[in-house]
Structure 1
Amino acid sequence: MSVETLLIEMLGSVPHWIAVLILGALPVSELRGAIPVAMGIYGMGPFEAFFFSVLGNLLPVIPLLLFLEPVSNYLRRYRIFDTFFIWLFSRTRQNNTESFEKYGLLALAIFVAIPLPATGAWSGCAAAFVFGVKFKHSFPAIAAGVMMAGILVTVLTVTGIGLVDLVFGV
């Protein structure tokens, strides 16, 4: 059973719009999975699918941006988490410092806007945290990236070019 099928079955008893909000908020699907499911399985129109998916994708952004640092600082007291954060920070900085220094917040928005696995709002929040971008700058950039991704995924879904295969490996 695929992740997509499992999630849809688990959300079967909730109203479709809430299911789409939840799918949009989850790091495994985000809106690149929520929009095709909303339109293809729940029969929502493009605007409704876009709205609930984008809203769902933005729901975790504020808590993530506000609480990643305090949670990270707390967890770093334990060696296993400290090792993980050292690895995460060095890997993220090694792979993205040049782009971020060159393009700044535009790089963050574009990174979030690319509707592929390992990109999106959750990863954008992690990148903003790693690079020390303040909330007042990172939230608008991430929100812009989420909206761009939402437009792209909606257009691809309407035209029949689905991203569910990329996201869930179906």
Structure 2
Amino acid sequence: MREALAVFIAALLPLSEVRGAIPLGVVLGLSPAATLAAAVLGNMAVVPPLLALLSGLEALLAKRLEAGGGFLHGLSSTYFKLVTRARIRAKPYVNRYGALGLAVFTAIPLPLTGAWTASLAAHALGMDRRVALLSIWLGVLVAALIVAGLVGLLAGLPSSAP
């Protein structure tokens, strides 16, 4: 049970998401089904709160940015840089393919293309929350399957150790 919780928590984090949680589950000896379930559920758990809270957070941070100085000013500046970066990275996918483009962007198993960045991008691009939620969830599921496949392929390779 602790292993599944560790995978779930790793999937919640913006730096690891399913891309780090699935290999963690394998290392911890968790079954493939439990690893996938914990990773996908953990990564998807962050999306609804992010989409719901970003507007309010952005308004608060904009006020702090205008006030200037201090820790919150630096935090606000960093947040707006992240939103701009997310918008720039996701916009070509969303412009070309619409909601499916956000799913494709989320599904790419590379750093800064997961659920956290996709949520920021959906907010920055003004997407409908329900459409964004479904797109991101689809992308997380596809990313998890890709990572699980890659981890499975790598696990099946012969070791060079004697």
Q: TM-score range by the shorter chain?
A: 0.7 to 0.9
Alpha-carbon distance in structure 2 between the residues aligned to 1:72 and 1:16 = 35
Amino acid of the residue matched to residue 33 of structure 1? Answer: G
User: CA-atom RMSD, angstroms?
Assistant: 1.9
Match of 2:115 in 1: 121
Amino acid of the structure 2 residue aligned with 1:68? L
Measure the CA separation in 1 of the matches of 2:90 and 2:8.
30
1:90 Cα offset (Å): 4.4
Which structure would you say has the larger Rg?
Answer: 2
Within 2, Cα distance between the matches of 1:142 and 1:87?
Answer: 21
Q: Give TM-score scaled by structure 1 length.
A: 0.78
Answer with 25-34 or 93-102: which moved more.
93-102
Cα 1:94–1:23 shift into 2, 3 Å: closer
Gap runs ≥5 in structure 1: 1-13, 162-170
Matched, 1:21 2:8: yes
Equivalents in 1 of 2:115, 2:84: separation in Å? 20
Query: CA separation in 1, counterparts of 2:85 and 2:42?
Result: 28
**Runs of at least 5 residues in structure 2 that lack an aligned partner in the other structure:** 66-72, 156-162
Q: Percent identity?
A: 35
Matches within 5 A, 1:84-95: 84=78, 87-95=81-89
For the residues of structure 2 that align with 1:90 and 1:151, how far apart are their CA atoms? 29
- From 38, 52, 64, the equivalent of 1:66 is 52
Q: TM-score, normalised by structure 2?
A: 0.82
How many residues are treated as equivalent by the alignment?
Answer: 147
* Structure 1: distance between partners of 2:6 and 2:117: 22
2:144 corresponds to which of 128, 140, 150: 150
Mapped contact 1:46–1:158 kept (Cα < 8 A)? no
| Correspondence 1:100-111 to 2 at 5 A | 100-111=94-105
Helix, strand or coil: the match of 2:63?
Answer: coil
Q: CA deviation at 1:61?
A: 0.7
Q: 1:36 aligns with which of 23, 29, 33?
A: 23
* Structure 2 match to 1:3: none
> Is 1:75 aligned with 2:61?
yes
Contact 2:99 2:131 in 1 (8 A): yes
Q: Which has the larger helix fraction?
A: 2
Is the Cα contact below 8 Å between 1:61 and 1:125 reproduced in 2? yes
